[in-house]
Chain A
Amino acid sequence: QVQLQQSGPGLLRPSQTLSLTCVISGDSVSSNSAAWSWIRQSPSRGLEWLARTYYRSKWNYDYAVSVRGRITISPDTSKNQFSLQLNSVTPEDTAVYYCARISFNTTPVWGQGTMVSVSS
């Protein structure tokens, strides 16, 4: 049974960097059939996919246009986890952030969510 456990701070000041981690159990971050995403949800933007990484002979990375240039998704094979880094946050980045496994040949699995508030 695949489980994703998220961790990271919930309160940030504008211009700070958001860092979240998602620890995987029951699967491998370097699996050749899985893909690992960060998604956020807010009342104003709904469910918004942010980034994805997956391993197919090499590491691949995809990013949403809305956050490209500010965001990095990083796999860590030694800890079987992946992380999100979002730079220069503003109040518009306030949302619940989820990690998820969403790929062609696996059933989707989501983390429990982390409420992130950006406020001065």
Chain B
Amino acid sequence: DIVMTQSPDSLAVSLGERATINCKSSQSVFHYSDNKNYVVWYQQKAEQPPKLLIYWASTRESGVPDRFSGSGSGTDFTLTISSLQAEDVAVYYCQQHYSTPLTFGGGTKVEIK
């Protein structure tokens, strides 16, 4: 199984400041045949399903503010919120869908400092 390790577990950032969340996979999730990394980032608020932010490690979902960006390849990935807004308070998860079982990181709780 591919283990997805997220860090930190929680993060407190001032409004307008940068938030950075890391995700490390226990093996590469890069698919050579189509040059894609099969990593997804989600945002989850209380009592709601996960909301798609980023797929293929760095492609922003339509409608997601451009302050959200994803980067990385192979085994190391990052979600960056360039200027934290109040509505960004949530738990963020990474997920790999390179192979089954599909696996998720443990989540990073983002709060306002």
Interface magnitude class on chain B? 20 to 34
Write out the residue numbers on chain B whose beta carbons fall within 8 Å of the beta carbon of A52.
100, 102
CA A71 – CA B76 in complex, angstroms?
Answer: 33
Assess A103 versus B97: contact at CB under 8 Å? Given A46-B104, A47-B104: yes
Residues 85-116 of chain A, each 1 if its beta carbon lies under 8 Å from chain B, else 0: 00000000000001000111101111111000
Q: Which residue of B lies closest to A47 (CB)?
A: B104
Stretch at the interface among B10-18, B20-28, B49-57: B49-57
User: Which residues of B from 32 to 73 have beta carbons under 8 Å from A?
Assistant: 34, 36, 38, 40, 49-50, 52, 55, 61
Task: State in angstroms the CA–CA spacing of A102 and B102 once bound together.
Answer: 9
Residues of A with C-beta under 8 A to B40:
102, 108
Q: Judging by beta carbons under 8 Å apart, are B61 and A49 in contact? A: no
Using Cβ atoms and an 8 Å threshold, which residues of chain B touch A81? none
Please pick, from A104, A109, A112, the residue contacting B38 in the complex, using a CB distance under 8 A.
A104
Least CB distance from A18 to B in Å reads 18
Q: Which residue of B lies closest to A6 (CB)?
A: B49
Task: Report the minimal beta-carbon distance from A74 to chain B, rounded to whole angstroms.
Answer: 18
Which residues of the partner chain B approach A49 to less than 8 Å between Cβ atoms?
A: 100-104
**Residues from chain B with Cβ under 8 Å of A107 in the complex:** 52, 55, 61
Question: For window 73-106 of chain B, which residues contact chain A by CB distance below 8 Å?
Answer: 93, 95, 97, 100-104, 106
Chain A residues whose C-beta falls within 8 Å of the C-beta of B103 in the assembled complex: 49
Q: Kindly state whether residue A11 has any CB partner on chain B within 8 Å.
A: no
State in angstroms the CA–CA spacing of A65 and B97 once bound together: 17
CA distance A46 to B4 in the complex (A): 12
B-chain residues with CB within 8 Å of residue A65 when the two chains form the complex? 101
A62 close to chain B: CB less than 8 A: yes
Chain A residues lying within 8 Å of B52, measured Cβ to Cβ, are 107-110
In the bound complex, do residue B106 and residue A46 qualify as a contact, i.e. CB atoms below 8 Å apart?
yes
The chain A residues found within 8 Å of chain B, CB to CB, are 37, 39, 46-49, 52, 62, 64-65, 98, 102-105, 107-113
The 4 A-B pairs with the shortest beta carbon distances in the complex, nearest first, are: A47-B104, A49-B102, A62-B100, A113-B49
